[in-house]
Amino acid sequence: ASLFPARVCTLSLLLAPALGLSSVPSSTELRRALIARRAAPTLGGLLPADVERLLDQYIAAHPPIDPAHAARGELARGTWRVVHAPHIEQLGRVLGVEFDVTYELDARDGISSHVRYGGALTGGGFLSARGAWAPLDARTVRVIWEDIWWSPGAEVPVREPPSGALAQLVQRIGRAGMLPELSAFPVELLASTLCAFRFRPTDSRVVAAKLVEGEAVW
């Protein structure tokens, strides 16, 4: 089953912050609500600010787990799909491109990122990166990307960087853009199937849902 079903009955939960309701959802309800909005961004006229208020409620009631102790365990390992990222949504609207971001964390502190893109002018494909991650302090993780590659026209992620002059150029450009301020991510929430962190350059929140058994990636 797809992570983003066509319809999920969570309209009342999604509208809770907009209506001023005080109930705090469970992580399962919050995950379902965010997936629903990711599948249908205009559902119920919900605005990103409404989602932010719902997240603020949940995070305030659930203090973050220290990534230095928990992030390297089974809690973090697996495939995570971004379900809320206002800065990515805004970039997509400006460029006329839809982005779909997935992170894969393994048992050896390795991380891979695959950004699926598609648009009338750009066509489709993937931008991918691979590297390592580790706790930087009690509330922050750092990601060091080692390989960056581009797979234009691909319908599924290409798992290994290609060779050739274009691949080397993409690698150089990608590494040049990986500035230190882009590699540290304050963690706000780490639950069994949901995590939230800050993207510092735009001070925006990114929320990802961990795929569970039966959910498809692509």
Do residues 54 and 33 touch, judged by C-beta distance below 8 A? yes
More confident residue, 24 or 202: 202
Most confident of 107-111, 131-135, 153-157, 161-165: 153-157
pLDDT band at 5 (very low <50, low <70, confident <90, very high): very low
* Residue 142, CB-side half-sphere exposure with 13 Å CA sphere: 10
pLDDT band at 18 (very low <50, low <70, confident <90, very high): very low
Say if residue 103 is exposed, middle or buried (CB neighbours under 10 Å; 0-12, 13-18, 19+): buried
pLDDT band at 21 (very low <50, low <70, confident <90, very high): very low
Tell me the pLDDT tens digit for each residue of 111-154.
999 999 999 999 999 999 999 988 888 788 899 999 999 999 99
Tell me the pLDDT tens digit for each residue of 51-78.
888 888 888 887 766 655 555 567 788 9
Q: 177 in helix, strand or coil?
A: helix
Residue 156 clears pLDDT 50, i.e. is over it: yes
pLDDT of residue 116: 96
